[in-house]
A and B are shown apart, each in its own frame.
Chain A
Amino acid sequence: MKSTYKADMAAIAAFTLMAVLAIAAPLTNMAPSFRLFAVFGAVLLGPASVAYRLATERRWSDCLAIGAGINVAIAMLLGQLLVSVHFWHPTQFELLMPVATFLLSSVLLWRVMSSSSKVRR
């Protein structure tokens, strides 16, 4: 991992928070502007950035810049797929993205923790 432990932890916290907000948004009575921020934020800070970090171990700035484009592409293809198979349930299926972000952030957290404990030993 090229970034520091602190950067990883900060990024994991941000990604997890955004994912949790986006998951909670359709289920709760959030203010519309806050819900908009949560869902769009969870798309831009979506699973691709975390996956990119996990797969390539590049810097977070790279992961964020490249991940934003990939997350948008995922949303486009997911929408296209749902329309093509005539199964248009956008609110439920959009949740796939923040859920994936949450899971990937957990994997990253586990990896960061295990590598830091190895260093300590």
Chain B
Amino acid sequence: VRATGSDRLHPHAPIRPSGRTQLALGILVCGSLLAAGLWALRASPESHIGPYGLIQALSPWYYVVLAGLLLSTAWTFRIERFRSPLLSGHLIVLVVLVHGAPALVESAPRFATAWLHAGFTDYVASTGRFLPLVDARFSWPSFFAGSALVDRAAGVHAATALIRWWPVALNLLYLPLIFRLAYAFLRSDEKAWIATALFPLANWVGQDYYSPQSIAFLLYLTFVFLLVGPLGAHDLPLWRLYWRSRGQGRILRTRRPWIHGGPWLVQQSQAKLSALGFHLGILVLLMAAMATGHQLTPILATGSAMVFVLAGRTRVRWLVIAFALMTIVWVCYGAVSFWSGHFGLLVGQVGSVQNNVSSAFIARLHGSFAHRFVVDVRLVMSGLVWLLAVLGGLLWRSDGADRRALVISFLLPFGMLVGGSYGGEAVLRVYLFALPFAVCLVAALISRIRWSYRWMTVGVILALLVPFFLVSRWGNELFELVRPNEVSGVKALYRIARPGSTLISITPQLPWRFADVARFRYEPSNLDEFALESVPAIIRLVEGNPRGGYVIITTSQIDYGWQAYGLPSTWGTKVEKLLSDSAYFKIRYTNQSSQVFEYTPRPRSG
């Protein structure tokens, strides 16, 4: 997007043509900082990751590089010529260094759930079938189907090959859309760049790992941008139009076509009309992919579309009904195996805001001191971003439709707290879906500052966000990282275990099910049943299965137990000892980070 005359930083700013030398210098700085950052990350020892996460392991040089990068980024805001390519370069380096840090520090790709999703993808790739009765995520399976399709064509034998750099790739794909979205609302090159620069450091929620929601969020951003960008409008809000038309004796709803436009449509050239039709087709396509790919995103997308219609910010009007219908039809038809028999579970939390907020906030405020500190930092950071966004909404002077649409879109995701707790993750989703609009409002707030201080303010805010981000995003790395020995342990378990047997994990933090998803029974299936501490509790889960059962205990599971569940730090050793001493269990495999026990229904003698 090219800056217009009104987008310039300041009419009286001392703008000198920076020339190609400045561009070359900027590229050189970016390249050097990237190389230095990668070196600093490689020099950070994985073994130093502690209760406060990755921040304890990062080399001091990493912070020096980040400081240099942020200074250079803030300085680049002052440049008039080649500002866009230079800022793009800086933000690419920033994303690689902050979102790719664990990929370079840790020996194995991180996060147990990403390994699970890789297992789902591999199952679809090898069988061409879904398993809706095994896992609810298969009721919205198009992410796994698409990923399996591409993996197979690319000759990828295991989707685990993709998960290491997935967050970096996804964040790089989000940024151009954030820029465009911000530009559509703020109508300024500079403000849009500020919003885009804030996004990677404000996005601490970690929903960008190899998962359906990471891709669904990309589709959501594309969808929202199309509604307010190419299909955008600057009308009166719908309620005012309604009252106005009522006063004139006209009924709005009978006069409005699917696309608002009236005479506008007649005046358009054939090319413009074909572009319009193309955009509408894309919206339907994106909604179809979202509706079949993730349970929450299509609801938010439909809600955002409704907000834009109400605020008079989009030309698309009655098509919103089609979006809602697509979502509902998929839930009724495609996700039938998810809700049949669990309807109470699905709608039981609707309206119980207190319970949903409690499970999202209070239930997370337990565990070890370090874990509570990380949760506190997350809450402070979220509160800070929301506060700045609210201030931006209050102080920003703009065209009514933009401000109305932006503020309501920012507030809309908070409505999710009424809908359900979403496994205690509702607040994470609220933050994620509010974030694109929040950074726009923060950018609008920053733009109220005098030009001469503005670039410094950007630099200071970015620098403040770095420690918050590193603690919030990578603070749980002690149990979220995957140790190579744990993967070896799980592979050994798969070799040892008989097909159809029950496999037990004492906490959910285990990189398993990346293979043989349908070959075994996995227990426990409910999050509340984890943190198993007694032998009888474990036996209850395996004794009904004639094919036997196995228990796996790994370092990450033990760390998760004392960090997140607040168990004593020795609880893992205690469970290991109980199983070793029990007559019902025998050790089948052991390495530095994992142990596999087999259940023997008849107690061993002696």
Residues of A within 8 A of B (CB): 22, 25-26, 32, 35-36, 38-40, 43-44, 48, 51-52, 55-59, 61-62, 64-66, 68-70, 72-80, 82-83, 86-88, 90-91, 93-95
Contacts and interface: CB of A to CB of B under 8 A. Distances in A.
Contacts of A40: 150, 154
B153 A79 contact: no
Interface string B527-538: 000000000000
B132 to A, nearest CB: 11
B279 interface: yes
A57 B275 contact: yes
B124 A69 contact: no
A77 B292 CA distance: 8
B222 A83 contact: no
Contact of B286 (A25, A38, A70): A70
A69 B146 CA distance: 13
Contact of A26 (B124, B149, B155): B155
Contact of A39 (B127, B154, B289, B290): B154
Interface string B249-283: 00000000000000000000001001100110010
Nearest to B218: A69
Interface in B488-511: none
B226 interface: yes
A65 B180 contact: yes
Interface residues of B, number: 50
Nearest to A54: B278
Q: Pick the most buried of B151, B218, B282, B292: most chain A CB atoms within 10 A of its CB.
A: B282
Contacts of A61: 1, 176
Contact of B285 (A25, A36, A70, A79): A70
B147 A83 contact: no
Contacts of A35: 154-155
A56 B230 contact: yes
Interface string B277-306: 011001001101110110000000000000
B152 to A, nearest CB: 4
Interface stretch (B56-64, B103-111, B137-145, B438-446): B137-145
A52 to B, nearest CB: 7
Nearest to B172: A68
B177 interface: yes
A80 B230 contact: no
A22 B147 CA distance: 16
A93 B218 CA distance: 24
Nearest to B143: A76
Nearest to B130: A83
A40 B154 CA distance: 7
A26 B153 contact: yes
Contacts of B289: 72-74, 76-77
A83 B146 contact: no
Contacts of A64: 176
A121 B222 CA distance: 40
A86 to B, nearest CB: 7
A83 B123 CA distance: 12
Contact of B154 (A36, A70, A72): A36
Contacts of A59: 1
Most interface-central of B130, B173, B288, B289 (chain A CB within 10 A)? B289
A79 B239 CA distance: 42
Interface in B555-605: none
Nearest to A2: B2
Contacts of A52: 278, 282
A32 to B, nearest CB: 6
B10 interface: no
A94 B153 contact: yes
Nearest to B155: A35
Contacts of A72: 146, 215, 218-219, 289
Contacts of B152: 90-91, 94
27 contacts: A32-B155, A35-B155, A52-B282, A55-B274, A61-B176, A62-B180, A64-B176, A66-B180, A66-B225, A66-B282, A68-B222, A72-B218, A73-B288, A73-B290, A74-B285, A75-B149, A76-B145, A76-B289, A77-B289, A79-B148, A82-B145, A83-B124, A90-B148, A90-B153, A93-B149, A94-B149, A95-B153
Nearest to A69: B222
Interface in B37-58: none
A93 B125 CA distance: 13
Given A25-B154, A72-B219, A78-B146, 4 more contacts: A39-B153, A68-B218, A76-B293, A79-B146
A43 B154 CA distance: 11
A79 B142 contact: yes
B156 interface: yes
Given A40-B150, A79-B146, A86 B222 contact: no
A39 B147 CA distance: 12
Interface in B200-250: 215, 218-219, 221-223, 225-226, 230
